[in-house]
Structure 1
Amino acid sequence: MARWIILMCLLISIVEARRHCSHIYNVRNYDAIANGKNDDSKAFLKAWSDACKSRVSASVVVPEGTYRLNPIVFTGPCKASITFKLKGTLIAPTNNPSTGTTWIDFRYLNHLTVTGGGKLDGQGASAWGRKNAHPVLMTMGFAFVNNSNINGIRSINSQNVHITMFMCENITLSHLTITAPGQSPNTDGIKMARSQGININNVHIATGDDCVAILTGTKNVNISNVYCGPGHGISVGSFGSNSDEFDIEDIFVKNCTFKGTSNALRIKTWASPLDHPLKASNIVYEDITIIDVEHPINIDQEYCPSANCGNKVSSGVKISNVSYRNIRGTCQGDVAVSFKCSESNPCQDISLENIVLKRSTSSRETLTNRCSHVNGAFSGEQFPPSCI
């Protein structure tokens, strides 16, 4: 009887171990060639399909090697949590064979992890400035993805945006390296819209556009320990040009460094009338290091990315409750703080505390601050003197 009890206990232990064990789906077992030339998309999709059907947590593993993939969609929902473990290098097509705009796309997933220390090579140099019928590709997209983690991967030379999120909730992005030349067009590092509960920390971003772009309908974003440069800084917006947009709220940026960027802390809205109220509010920038930045602190409610925007009108976006605390460093331009707010919707409750910005050069000319249609207060050290 004792031996029978022991045997039953062993069987129960084995069943429980299998229940909690993650199933591994290696793309090499699905005939991925990994020579950097042949299209391995079918092997990846088959491995994903099998992993997604698993009733226990599963991992799609991409071992070391170079894999060429055409635009691919990893879709759910899956039956359990799923990990995409990238150890090798993925290479994008230089001539997009589809009409899609995202190279590696994750959709309708819960409890996804993307990790592994591998690399995404968008081969952007082949696409920058392209003027043919094939759209350039955003490197990695997440749509309707919740409760997930993206960490420990590298994205280089994206053709367009490196990482995008749309209608996502509770996603953490950490320990990422995102790089493209400073002159590469539209290569934003991380861009999000209609998303909430987004955490970005310990990320190094060097691009030709915004390091982080926070677009319409995004709420509850925490950004910390991000190094940005080159690039256009961390931007709230642009938004406010269409009637189908939504508020941006609760954005917190802390312990970040900007070096050699055109902007650092930027809020930008179109000078456009709206048929419904729209706002950007409760935004905090704290403990920021500025190194040789052209425009360190900037609210621009007359945003116009081209020279021909027609007759400008007062922006319909109301900006309020924005705090800047402990921001220090050097500026390459002439204006340290620029608040160009809407005449019909002046900026409200803008606060500055301990803002010290000096010229990058040894010029004796001091920096200036410029304010229009802004209400708020300042405290602590202010150099140059506050214009509020």
Structure 2
Amino acid sequence: MEWRLTIPTASLLMLMLMSSLAKNQAQARNVFNIKDFGAVDDGNTDGSKALSDAWSKACNSRGTAVVLIPSGTYLLGPVRLAGPCNGAIEFQIKGDLKALNSPQLGIDHWITFRYIEDLTITGGGVLDGQGAAAWPSNDCKKNPNCQALPVTMRLDFVSDARIHDVTSLNSKNFHFNIFSCKNITFERVTIKAPDESPNTDGIHMALSSNVFIRDSDIGTGDDCVSLGPGSKNINMTGITCGPGHGISIGSLGGTPNEPAVAKVFVGSSTFTGTTNALRIKTRAPSFQGAVKDITFQDINVKNADNPIIIEQQYCPSKTCSSQSSQVKISNVKFSNIRGTSSSSVAININCSPAVPCTGIELRDIDLKYDGSNGNDEKTSSVCENAQGTAYGTQNPPSCWKSSTLRKLQFI
């Protein structure tokens, strides 16, 4: 007898199949709500134990796990969320997390992720570091033995992570610190702190590779993004920076055997009212090191003090000797950099006499003076111990004559 599938039977089988698929997907995506572990959304009850317990369950579960911070305001003390975990894990911030409203001297973190592979941090929520309580305690410019202040979020030994659609406000120290990580992507991240807040770098990284920062709005009291030793294959595009100190490579040379900073690209970004825009800084005196293969391209600068600056005499302690930096800088390209400078020196390339810069390229630079004194002043370039070439538009006039045929010159 021939068996035929009727329409009602086919519909029933389809519903059963869809139900089975939905059930499997639900099983594969386990959600651990911190409220189920005792967190209270009153903004006053410390939820660090609840979060740690939820993380522990999520990390040890099978399949993709979600640690959920639902809508509401949650007070949170310092937490370390460690792996390795059994599967991919998502830290979903729907509400607001608030740090303790105190300096927390001697504590170097607020939220730390460690030894994790395949991590997502998202949700549209807010990390509020309540930094105003800590900033008056930051005396590091005067005190070499100053105590640590908490970084809002640390990623240590993390790989394949995506941080997107979150906001970090008023960190006590750095907003994000990336250490010994690989394959990290920041996208549509908002980072804000007042321009007078000390050491509130937006994203700082070191000993990390394949880091992408895209379409993010960063305004702080320090560097929007800073790159420490061992930062390699770094790509930054679509960044809006200001206020702050711009994007800084360095400072470098402060410790022995520092790995090089190499293969960095910054493109299609805007700097508004920043102290610096595109900056490389090394200490003097310093240990040996290297910066190489750096490209800054398609950059719009609005009223920055130092639109283009290489500073190899960086001395934050103000008690440095006359010794030179030993960090070698090579193959740095500035291409299509346009806008206004609030100082008359728009290009300041101050390299080390011990290891002069080589392979500096300026291509299509147009930086006009926009000072507040009302004078019709033009911008200028200052270069020391630097070897380079210039092509196309050069405003201010380059240290090297603009010519596609001219060989490298030494200034």
Question: TM-score, normalised on structure 1?
Answer: 0.94
Shift in CA distance, 110/271, structure 1 to aligned 2, threshold 3 Å: same
Q: Distance in 1 between matches of 2:103 and 2:56?
A: 24
Task: Describe the SS at the equivalent of 1:129.
Answer: helix
- Where does residue 185 of structure 1 map in the other structure? 198
Say what the alpha-carbon RMSD is for the aligned residues.
2.1
Task: Describe the SS at the equivalent of 1:42.
Answer: helix
CA contact (8 A) 1:220 1:250 kept: yes
Which stretch has the larger CA shift, 94-103 or 47-56? 94-103
Q: Distance in 1 between matches of 2:151 and 2:327?
A: 28
* Matching of residues 227-246 of structure 1 within 5 Å: 227-246=240-259
Task: Describe the SS at the equivalent of 2:266.
Answer: strand
User: Which structure 2 segments of 5+ residues have no match?
Assistant: 140-145, 401-411
- Where does residue 396 of structure 2 map in the other structure? 384
Q: CA deviation at 1:312?
A: 2.2
- Where does residue 101 of structure 2 map in the other structure? 94
Q: Distance in 1 between matches of 2:234 and 2:189?
A: 17
Q: CA deviation at 1:334?
A: 1.6
Alignment pair present for 1:281 and 2:288: no
CA contact (8 A) 2:104 2:149 kept: no
Alignment pair present for 1:117 and 2:124: yes
Task: Describe the SS at the equivalent of 1:48.
Answer: helix
1:256 counterpart (260, 266, 269) = 269
1:43 counterpart (50, 71, 94) = 50
Which stretch has the larger CA shift, 24-33 or 226-235? 24-33
One-letter amino acid of the structure 1 residue matched with residue 362 of structure 2: L
1:301 counterpart (289, 312, 324) = 312
Shift in CA distance, 95/219, structure 1 to aligned 2, threshold 3 Å: same
Q: Distance in 1 between matches of 2:36 and 2:168?
A: 25
- Where does residue 157 of structure 1 map in the other structure? 170
Give 1 or 2 for the bigger CA radius of gyration: 2
Question: TM-score, normalised on structure 2?
Answer: 0.89
Q: Distance in 1 between matches of 2:254 and 2:121?
A: 34
- Where does residue 303 of structure 2 map in the other structure? 292
Q: Distance in 2 between matches of 1:131 and 1:218?
A: 26
Shift in CA distance, 236/85, structure 1 to aligned 2, threshold 3 Å: same
- Where does residue 328 of structure 1 map in the other structure? 338
One-letter amino acid of the structure 1 residue matched with residue 393 of structure 2: E
Q: Distance in 2 between matches of 1:297 and 1:131?
A: 28
CA contact (8 A) 2:28 2:62 kept: no
Shift in CA distance, 48/117, structure 1 to aligned 2, threshold 3 Å: same
Cα deviations across residues 359-381 of structure 1 (Å, max 9, x unaligned)? 11452221110000100100000
Task: Describe the SS at the equivalent of 1:111.
Answer: strand
Q: Distance in 2 between matches of 1:346 and 1:308?
A: 23
- Where does residue 373 of structure 1 map in the other structure? 385
- Where does residue 28 of structure 1 map in the other structure? 35
Number of aligned pairs?
382
Q: Distance in 1 between matches of 2:70 and 2:336?
A: 44
* Matching of residues 192-211 of structure 1 within 5 Å: 192-211=205-224
Q: CA deviation at 1:244?
A: 3.4
Identity among equivalent positions (%) equals 43
- Where does residue 106 of structure 1 map in the other structure? 113
Shift in CA distance, 384/90, structure 1 to aligned 2, threshold 3 Å: same
Task: Describe the SS at the equivalent of 2:24.
Answer: helix
Cα deviations across residues 104-154 of structure 1 (Å, max 9, x unaligned)? 111100000000000011111111021699742110110001011000000
Q: CA deviation at 1:157?
A: 0.6
Cα deviations across residues 248-293 of structure 1 (Å, max 9, x unaligned)? 000000001000000000000011243xx52100000000000000
One-letter amino acid of the structure 1 residue matched with residue 392 of structure 2: G
Q: Distance in 1 between matches of 2:194 and 2:184?
A: 27
CA contact (8 A) 1:302 1:312 kept: no
CA contact (8 A) 1:19 1:56 kept: no
Task: Describe the SS at the equivalent of 2:158.
Answer: strand
- Where does residue 236 of structure 2 map in the other structure? 223
Q: Distance in 2 between matches of 1:14 and 1:339?
A: 61
Task: Describe the SS at the equivalent of 2:189.
Answer: strand
Which stretch has the larger CA shift, 96-105 or 343-352? 96-105
Q: CA deviation at 1:21?
A: 3.0
2:79 counterpart (52, 72, 86) = 72
User: Which structure 1 segments of 5+ residues have no match?
Assistant: none
Cα deviations across residues 75-132 of structure 1 (Å, max 9, x unaligned)? 1000000000001001101236684311011110000000000001111111102169
Shift in CA distance, 14/364, structure 1 to aligned 2, threshold 3 Å: closer
Q: Distance in 2 between matches of 1:247 and 1:122?
A: 32
Q: Distance in 1 between matches of 2:77 and 2:203?
A: 22
Shift in CA distance, 15/162, structure 1 to aligned 2, threshold 3 Å: closer
Shift in CA distance, 111/297, structure 1 to aligned 2, threshold 3 Å: same
